[in-house]
Amino acid sequence: MTLLEIKNLKKVYTARFSNQQTEALTTVNFSIEAGEFVSIMGESGSGKTTLLNIISTLDDATSGEVFLEGSPLSKIKDKEISAFRRNTLGFIFQDFNLLDNFTIKDNILLPLVLSKTPVREMEERLMPIVKNLGIEAHIDKFPYEVSGGQKQRVAVARALITQPKIILADEPTGALDSKASQNLMEILKGINETGQTILMVTHSAQAASFSNRILFIRDGAVYHEIYRGDAPAEQFMDRISKSLKVLSSRGELDE
Amino acid sequence: MNNRFFSSLALRNIKSNKQLYIPYLLSSTTIIMMFYLMASLLDNEFVQERSSSLSPLFVLGTIVIGIFSVIFILYTNSFLIKRRKKEIGLYGILGLEKKHVAKILFFETGFTSILSIAAGLVGGLIFGRLFFMLLNYMVRLPVDIIYSTSSLIVLATIGLFLAIFGITFLYNVSQFTFANPVKLLKGKQEGEKEPKGSIILFILSLVLLGWGYGISVTIPDPLEAITKFFLAVLLVIIGTYLLFISGSIFILKALKKNKQIYYRPGAFISISGMLYRMKQNAVGLANICILASMVIIAVSTTLTIFIGAEETLENRFPYENNMTLFGDVENVDEMNTRFFELQDQVQNTVYAEGLEVTESESYRYATFFGGVQGNEFVFDQGYADQENPTVLMVLPLEDFNGMTGKSYTLDDDAALYYHSTNAYKDSELTLGNKTYRVAEVANEFGEDMDLVESMAIVVPDASHLLEIQDDFKEQYPETNYLTIDAEVGWNTSGTEEQKEALAKKLNGEYGLGAGGSNLYDSRLLQREEWYGMNGGFLFLGIFLGLLFTIGTVLITYFKQVSEGFDDREKFQIMQKVGLDRETIQESTRSQIVWMFVLPIVIATIHVIFAYPIVRKLLLIFGVTNETTWLLSFVGVVIAFAAIYWVIYRLTSKTYYRIVR
């Protein structure tokens, strides 16, 4: 079943005081099946983050459309957009975006509280998730009292607790050391194996190698895509590296 | 690197942080202006001349605003510096030594303090002049109250605020000296440790408040009220700060524990936000609460004095025409003839003007000082012997019946009495060598009786007055001031013009200028002067009320703006994970209880407990009507709540615009 479908997506930024226009996305087309773990790779400025922001409804497309389960995101009314974001999407950010005034527990529960979920249900949902992520010992601490890797796991818990249709992760390993990155990616892979769809933007070939499919973006368009298939991790890493090399060398040739 | 470099760097820092510095400069300028205006009143001619109790009250006011300035500037500074930690941490990483950073901070503090002190003084001068002009125009006093100031006050203001800014400088330097740059870089994010509610502080706050309230409730008489008022005010102010600091932690933590309340969108965001910056929050609320109390007390009491002016006049001058007859020390008995002769003369004068006496009252009395011991009134030689002598007024039954319209009869050994503290309950009372069987009566002698402890005794006839005086002289042979005095008061028929003509005539014959042992006072002629004076009080009350209201605006504004910048990032994050704007508004709405209701309610409680002591103070100004006070109090509370509501709405809109 196709969960997410992106058709002819285009985004043009116009500078505020001039007519100079920057094309962040030219034409993007791809789709994601339910249960997939897809990574998007590309160099800085390639349009990855713009793409993710549009899918997250944090930004509007200039033209084209994003369909989630067949319905276009642009048709969602302004009033419903926050509830949509809360209930349908889960977010993981590079810099965690945890709130220092909430305990770990309250940070995780935040989207549920905003949806006015009954307290009992919140607590029922909380425990299995924090146990699974290995942070149940820390739930009464504050974010500034735990390590970066733990913070990102808290963010994962916050993304999972609403049982979203898709998790959108923006450079989730960007602020973590290699050991914590490895650990986080294993967790995300585990989550994906339970059937959760994940779309991740990343720089890191290592992180991307945990996904089933990788899209390479360049100059605002999907340039290349590879599937992991049944390939072992090392072989997949190798293919990623080669693709990245091709991506950058072709870019030089183009210029 | 020379100072020129550091000073230009400091200047650039202020400019590039103008988002933070504009509210900071604005609020410190205003607080300096407030202090300067308040201190200027100390020097004011009206305050100096009108009443002896007025100038200590203004000293108190100045001290309170002084303390308040210290707390407020330190409070705003801590907000400011917390937000700049990252920037200053960066200097350390870029290679500036700590003494260099201190130099930059020195110049920054220097510039901001010079700017705000100068602006505060100039603003105060202009505002003071303008406002006094406006008030003079509005209140229309017979003589304008002139705004004045002196170089001493200017110097004192400069000195105080330089000292306060000096403290902020030291505080800021210490913040950076004891921290490493990496920590500073993260400084803004690092939360205040969630405070533990201290039971000791909470109990202490209740003790201080109880003490302050207790002083007010148990105050025995007005003269003591003046001296104890200061102590009570200071206790309540300190108690309020502690109460807000410790009490709000308890309440918020209790709310947080209650999952049904806490886990709702609005409460979730606002409770956790308030717990996060509890101390600043509590100090801000306490500031608002104290200012609100001051506004309410200042305006409602002066309003009462003004509204009660007519009543005061009636207390002071029970009749349109009043005459006090001072007895002759050499020939005490003379009064018993003069008393009747004078009444005849007055009657004739009134007839001569073509008017009639419609109402009148007259009585003779002798005054003694001493104290009740057991069931005997023990004489004192004079004022100086005892700190608070009981004033004893003895009057003949004939005059008492005449003035009350009652017809008591008394045996030769019987007497009536009134005791202002209602403490005397014996059935016998010895006065001099004579013991009377006594019966208690209500206060028929005027509200003045209750100002200090006093007693009135009605004896069978005027000869008893002389006997008691003789007994007194036996005890103290050198006494030379005992007399029998008398009061005569009467109303007449006729128009205002006719009454005024009569008053002027009598004033010429018996008035203060005429000399003699009879003193005439006309209520009509006194009225103008009374209104002048009481209008002056109202004037000062409105002025102070306005000053404190400005303070409230300032603090509310600063609180909302600074917290807005603090919370902005949090709200951005929450919006990313699905917070909608309605919930943001809901969370700002649920702060209403804290920001709006709490300070007003606590201020109202303060004012209710201040009631007894303020009432005693008002007695000094001759205001005895409690309804007037109560009404003006309720009116002022409602009016202030309305003003504060507007302030609150406007500033919370600013907050919403910042975080949105």
State the complex-level ipTM. Answer: 0.83
CATH architecture assigned to A2-254: 3-Layer(aba) Sandwich (3.40)
How far off is chain A from B292, nearest CA to CA, in Å?
A: 30
Q: Which helix (H) or strand (E) holds A30?
A: strand A21-33
Considering only the beta carbons, identify the residue of A93, A102, A114 that sits closest to B272: A102
How far apart CA A145 and CA A103 sit, in angstroms, is 10
User: Do the beta carbons of residue B569 and residue A99 sit within 8 Å?
Assistant: no
Cβ contacts of residue B593 below 8 Å, gap of 6+?
none
Q: Which of residues 587-626 of B touch A (CB under 8 A)?
A: none
> Which residue has tokens 């090392």?
A234
**For chain A, what's the residue count?**
255
Q: pLDDT (tens digit, 9 = 90+) per residue, B308-345?
A: 777 777 777 888 888 888 887 777 778 888 888 888 88
Across the interface, do A119 and B265 touch by the CB < 8 Å criterion?
no
- pLDDT at B239 > cutoff 90: yes
Rg of chain B, C-alpha, whole Å: 32
Q: Which residue of A has its CA nearest to B568?
A: A99
Residues of B in contact with A115 (CB under 8 A): 578
Q: pLDDT (tens digit, 9 = 90+) per residue, B394-426?
A: 888 888 888 888 888 888 888 888 888 777 888
Q: Does A18 touch chain B (CB under 8 A)?
A: no
- pLDDT at A250 > cutoff 60: no
Q: What does each C-alpha distance from B46 to A46, B52, B60, B537, B590 come to in angstroms?
A: 76, 11, 17, 9, 46
The CA angle B373-B378-B384, to the nearest 5 degrees, is 110
How far off is chain B from A175, nearest CA to CA, in Å?
A: 15
Residues of B in contact with A87 (CB under 8 A): 578
How far off is chain A from B569, nearest CA to CA, in Å?
A: 9
Residues of A in contact with B573 (CB under 8 A): 97-99
Q: pLDDT (tens digit, 9 = 90+) per residue, A53-102?
A: 899 888 888 889 999 888 898 888 877 888 888 889 999 988 888 888 88
Residues of A in contact with B263 (CB under 8 A): 109, 113, 119, 122
Q: What does each C-alpha distance from A95 to A175, B3, B287, B561, B598 come to in angstroms?
A: 6, 39, 37, 26, 38
Q: Does B476 touch chain A (CB under 8 A)?
A: no
How far apart CA B60 and CA B229 sit, in angstroms, is 9
Structure tokens at B424: 């005397």
pLDDT band at A255 (very low <50, low <70, confident <90, very high): very low
Structure tokens at A212: 């089933």
- pLDDT at A134 > cutoff 80: yes
Q: Which residue of B has its CA nearest to A145?
A: B190
Q: Which of residues 134-173 of A touch B (CB under 8 A)?
A: 142, 144, 158
How far off is chain B from A132, nearest CA to CA, in Å?
A: 22
Q: pLDDT (tens digit, 9 = 90+) per residue, B140-181?
A: 666 677 778 888 899 999 999 999 999 999 998 888 777 666
Return the closest-CA partner of residue A122 out of A90, A162, A82: A162
pLDDT band at B186 (very low <50, low <70, confident <90, very high): low
Please give the average per-residue pLDDT across B516-545, as a whole number: 77
Average pLDDT of chain B, as a whole number? 82
Point out the least confidently predicted range of B84-98, B111-125, B293-307, B563-577. Answer: B84-98
Residues of B in contact with A109 (CB under 8 A): 263
Per-domain boundaries in chain B: 1-190, 194-313+545-660, 327-516
How far off is chain B from A229, nearest CA to CA, in Å?
A: 33
Across the interface, do A99 and B189 touch by the CB < 8 Å criterion?
no
Q: Does B194 touch chain A (CB under 8 A)?
A: yes
- pLDDT at B382 > cutoff 70: no
Question: Any bridge partners for residue A12, and if so which?
Answer: A23
Question: Any bridge partners for residue B490, and if so which?
Answer: B321, B360
Looking at chain B, the whole-number percentage of residues with pLDDT higher than 90 is: 11
For the beta carbon of residue B586, count every other beta carbon within 10 angstroms.
Answer: 16
- pLDDT at B106 > cutoff 80: yes
Task: State the pLDDT at residue B404.
Answer: 80
How far off is chain A from B582, nearest CA to CA, in Å?
A: 9
Q: Does A121 touch chain B (CB under 8 A)?
A: no
Q: Which of residues 30-59 of A touch B (CB under 8 A)?
A: 56, 58
According to DSSP, the β-strands at B434-440 and B414-419 are parallel
Q: Does B577 touch chain A (CB under 8 A)?
A: yes
What are φ and ψ of residue B378, in 5° steps? Answer: -95, 125
Q: Is B477 exposed, middle or buried (0-12, 13-18, 19+ CB in 10 A)?
A: exposed
Considering only the beta carbons, identify the residue of A81, A93, A114 that sits closest to B583: A114
- pLDDT at B74 > cutoff 80: yes
Task: State the pLDDT at residue A253.
Answer: 42
pLDDT band at B247 (very low <50, low <70, confident <90, very high): confident
How far off is chain B from A210, nearest CA to CA, in Å?
A: 25
User: Do the beta carbons of residue B520 and residue B321 sit within 8 Å?
Assistant: yes
Residues of A in contact with B259 (CB under 8 A): 119
The conformational region for residue A44 under phi > 0 = left, psi -120 to 50 = alpha, else beta, is beta
Q: What does each C-alpha distance from A153 to A85, A144, A186, A189, A194 come to in angstroms?
A: 20, 14, 11, 13, 17
- State the Cα torsion A175-A180-A183-A187 to the nearest 10°: -40
The conformational region for residue B441 under phi > 0 = left, psi -120 to 50 = alpha, else beta, is beta
Q: pLDDT (tens digit, 9 = 90+) per residue, B338-370?
A: 888 888 888 888 888 888 888 888 888 888 888
Q: Does B202 touch chain A (CB under 8 A)?
A: no
Residues of B in contact with A79 (CB under 8 A): 580
Q: Does B188 touch chain A (CB under 8 A)?
A: no
Q: Which of residues 209-238 of A touch B (CB under 8 A)?
A: none
> Which residue has tokens 């072709």?
A250
Q: Does B578 touch chain A (CB under 8 A)?
A: yes
Count A/B contacts: CB-CB distance under 8 Å: 75
Half-sphere exposure of B196 (CA within 13 A, CB side): 3
User: Do the beta carbons of residue B217 and residue B173 sit within 8 Å?
Assistant: no
Residues of A in contact with B272 (CB under 8 A): 99, 101-102, 106
Across the interface, do A99 and B570 touch by the CB < 8 Å criterion?
yes
Q: Select the more confidently predicted residue: B641 or B196.
A: B641
Per-domain boundaries in chain A: 2-254
Residues of A in contact with B276 (CB under 8 A): 100-101
- pLDDT at B623 > cutoff 80: no
Q: Does A88 touch chain B (CB under 8 A)?
A: no
Max avg pLDDT among A118-127, B17-26, B262-271: A118-127
How far off is chain A from B184, nearest CA to CA, in Å?
A: 14
β-sheet with A63-68: strand ranges across: A71-72, A63-68, A2-14, A21-33, A221-227, A213-218, A37-41, A197-202, A166-170, A89-92
Across the interface, do A113 and B265 touch by the CB < 8 Å criterion?
yes
Q: Does B273 touch chain A (CB under 8 A)?
A: yes
Point out the least confidently predicted range of A112-126, B265-279, B630-644. Answer: B265-279
DSSP letter string, B306-372: HHTHHHHHHHH-SSSEEEEEPPPSS-GGGHHHHHHHHHHHHHHHHHHTT--EEEEEEEEEEEEEEEE
Considering only the beta carbons, identify the residue of B190, B191, B578 that sits closest to A86: B578
Across the interface, do A110 and B191 touch by the CB < 8 Å criterion?
no
Residue type, A118: P
Q: Which residue of B has its CA nearest to A59?
A: B576
Q: Does B575 touch chain A (CB under 8 A)?
A: yes
How far off is chain A from B95, nearest CA to CA, in Å?
A: 25
Point out the least confidently predicted range of A12-21, A104-113, B177-186, B380-389. Answer: B380-389
Residues of B in contact with A86 (CB under 8 A): 577-578
Q: pLDDT (tens digit, 9 = 90+) per residue, B462-513?
A: 888 888 888 888 877 777 667 888 888 888 888 888 888 888 888 888 877 7
Please give the average per-residue pLDDT across A171-187, as a whole number: 89
Task: State the pLDDT at residue B193.
Answer: 62
Considering only the beta carbons, identify the residue of B191, B260, B263 that sits closest to A100: B191
